[in-house]
Chains A and B, each alone.
Chain A
């Protein structure tokens, strides 16, 4: 009962932030105008602003936030380590590398899903590599060190590709790919990301029972009929789908998958299956809130989302490292 109340509250929070996100912008529309334009299509200019600029932005914030929250909760459940997060361990960075390669080699232009699939390949390579290196229930140090190496390599190669591009704007986009932004995205990006995200959400949501069993230990989980190999495969595929699709259209946004499960874990009683659902909604709320904040703080400058999420997330990350060290993990 308490869990369903939590989900209802989180759902209401997401709905409220979604509405605020639709109402914030430099066009200076009143809420009544915005609503009339969005729903009934009143006024060409107003309708274009609401339907083609603000709606995709709010939708992407929900989709990407939900994806990052869910991916963080799933990885932490599998590794039984609260430090596992797609941005920190280089999964988002590798997805960005895949996306940048697709954009600057012409793959993205040659077929519809070229961009998100290339980002998915980058994310899958990174998450697979990390899981192999860290092993199930792997120690924090291996996980973080592997993550640092993968992040550094992906970041360097992304910069290299962008510097080699003949496009004069490419090099200045390094910051977008490393920090993420939802400014001026369109419905095209929503449709580009959605199919892979839906697949990823379904895969990750199916992990609940397995992750719950895993809290009792690998042997106990195995006696309950949970295949660890299969669990890992589904996790890799699911994380690669959601992080790949999200990063392909909005760049790498860090710390969402760390902060959200950390805040919600005590509320759901540390049960991974419940944490998956709660973190999905929590992630959506966090990215919506961050995206509203970047528009309120610097309305015309396109402040990157990753700046805000890192300011919130990095101190929390340090705190977690301190605590895991004290607990001798």
Chain B
């Protein structure tokens, strides 16, 4: 295994230098610029959406194919207007980007290989708090040289969030129940969305801080007032069977309210405001 990899790493920088040379010749030397990047490729769902919100026309040339999936992306329609990539180092490199946007969970091999090929890769940290979203927007704005656009979005986001400001004495207990009995603990964006909308997260009672599994037996013994189920995808899997398990259905029928998470919950973008608004409405509707 180690041997062929070593050979690739030896051979590739030479090839990349040739490609980079060809690129800089054909594009008039944009690679060696100090100004904003002109060919940005995003290979992560969350950077896809932030880049689409902030990039100047023509600046963003490709987003990941996941950004075009309406089940996971709030900007699927916009994404369809871009060239879609599958996050493979070779195809990304062939787009001759001067900036690649990735996330902390992007394959280390892909990021490492792109960097060895001389491509600038920036990784956007995971957003775990609602208060981190302005910073994230500002950071993306800085990377793209679009600070003003970012400031506008930050101001809109702050206004939107303030309008939804919590005013709840009563805090019903909610559980996030995803495929494989996965749930989100206290150190997650989903927890913050839940709390801001006036619900207590049951994962806190179970002692979960990050993401983790909450066995169905334990979940039922905790008797939540609201079950927020994970998104269903096409095809039937055992992982998602737990969402419709008869015990969960009985819990929803006989005790708890029910709703589902969707693409708005996934990334730390201003789209979380509509997730909060829908949950708040549920809270005020008396769940």
Chain A residues near B (Cβ < 8 Å):
25-28, 44-46, 48-49, 52-54, 103-104, 106, 108-109, 165-170, 172-173, 176, 184, 186-188, 299-300
Q: A52-B246, A187-B246 are in contact. Are A169 and B180 (CB under 8 A)?
A: yes
Residue of A nearest to B239 (CB): A169
Answer whether A168 and B223 are a contact pair too, CB < 8 Å, given A44-B255, A48-B247, A184-B216: no
**Total interface residues on B, using CB and 8 Å?**
28
The stretch that binds A, out of B54-62, B230-238, B274-282, is B230-238
Separation of A188 and B250 alpha carbons in the complex (Å): 13
Closest to A29 in B: B221
Q: Does B70 contact A (CB under 8 A)?
A: no
Which residue of B has the minimal Cβ distance to A27?
A: B217
Find chain B residues with CB under 8 A from A176 CB. 238
Would B217 and A167 count as touching, CB distance under 8 A?
A: no
How far, in Å, is A158 (CB) from chain B's closest CB? 13
Smallest beta-carbon distance B281→chain A, Å: 27
B236–A109 touching, CB < 8 Å: yes
Instruction: Report whether B221 and A44 are in contact in the complex, using a CB–CB cutoff of 8 Å.
Output: no
Within 8 A of A (CB), among B170-184: 179-181
Decide if B235 touches A49 in the complex (CB within 8 Å): no
User: Are A49 and B221 in contact (CB-based, < 8 A)?
Assistant: yes
* Inter-subunit contact A166/B242 (CB<8 Å): no
CB distance from B52 to the nearest CB of A (A): 21
Q: Are A44 and B242 in contact (CB under 8 A)?
A: no
Given known A-B contacts A186-B245, A187-B246, A170 and B223 have beta carbons under 8 A apart: no
Do residues B218 and A44 form an inter-chain contact, with CB atoms below 8 A?
Answer: no
The proximity string for B residues 187-223 relative to A, scoring 1 for CB distances below 8 Å and 0 otherwise, is 0000000000000000000000000010111101101
With A169-B180, A184-B245, A186-B247: A25-B217 Cβ-Cβ less than 8 Å: yes
Q: Which residues of B contact A108 (CB under 8 A)?
A: 236
Contact B246 A167 (CB under 8 A): no
Measured in the bound complex, the distance between the Cα atoms of B213 and A188 in whole Å is: 23
B254 within 8 A of A: yes
Whole-angstrom CA separation of A169 from B179 in the bound complex: 8
Does B128 sit within 8 A of A, measured CB to CB? Answer: no
Q: Is the C-beta of B251 less than 8 angstroms from some C-beta in chain A?
A: yes
Q: How far is the CB of B256 from chain A (nearest CB, A)?
A: 11
Known A44-B255, A45-B223, A48-B247; contact A26-B242, beta-carbon cutoff 8 A: no
Nearest Cβ distance between residue A165 and chain B, in whole angstroms?
5
Complex Cα distance, B242 from A165, in Å, reads: 19
B236 close to A104 (CB less than 8 A): yes
Q: Which residues of A contact B240 (CB under 8 A)?
A: 167, 169
Partner of B235, one of A27, A45, A52, A104: A104
Contact call A52/B239, Cβ cutoff below 8 A: no
B215, A26: Cβ atoms under 8 Å? yes
Q: List 21 A-B contacts (CB under 8 A).
A: A26-B217, A27-B221, A44-B254, A45-B220, A46-B221, A48-B220, A49-B247, A52-B246, A53-B216, A53-B220, A103-B235, A165-B235, A166-B235, A167-B235, A167-B240, A169-B180, A169-B237, A173-B239, A176-B238, A186-B247, A187-B246
Shortest C-beta distance, B277 to chain A (Å), equals 27
Measured between beta carbons, the chain B residues less than 8 angstroms from A103 are: 235-237
Q: Give 3 closest A-B pairs by Cβ, nearest first.
A: A52-B247, A169-B239, A27-B217
Which B129-145 residues have a C-beta within 8 angstroms of A? none
